[in-house]
Amino acid sequence: MVGDIEDVTWTDSTCPVARTIDLVGDRWSLLIIRDAMDGARSFTDFQQRTGVARNILTERLRRLVDRGLLRREAAASGRRQHYVLTDAGCDFFTVIVALRQWGERHMFEDGEPRSVLVDVDGHVLAEMRPVDSDGRAVNADSTAVVRPVGAS
């Protein structure tokens, strides 16, 4: 498991979505992770990019470090801390891309200017879609959640 989670009371202890939302379900945490993926490292980087109040940023960075999505490293100068994505933080890339692509489809009018995520060759990423083990597209109507025995 990621980070120290002994002090967490889950909204739904058997649901991976609920556990994830409990950790990163606020605006600022998601934007901090997004910006870390885009090269932000210092407290000042995150503050300038997001516009979040310093006290909220301090708390969100602490929480993301405590829960294992970011780690602190000494900056080259040795006087400041930088924040770097952990393996779990890097693995969150898929979630950020899914949010971005949903936003591209549903939050912009046709022709409205927006940022674009491209690969190292400058190509726009293909649209992500969930598929089953045979590669067939699935959606909410063609899937079901199987809960552990005894869970409500």
pTM: 0.85
Q: How far apart are CA 145 and CA 101, in angstroms?
A: 24
CATH fold of 16-142: Arc Repressor Mutant, subunit A (1.10.10)
Neighbours of 52 (CB within 10 A): 19
Reading the block at residue 90, the tokens are 């890097």
The domain spans of the chain are 16-142
pLDDT means per 10 residues, the chain with 152 residues, are: 56 85 91 97 97 97 96 89 97 96 95 95 96 96 91 64
φ, ψ for residue 9 (rounded to 5)? -110, 110
Q: What is the pLDDT of residue 6?
A: 53
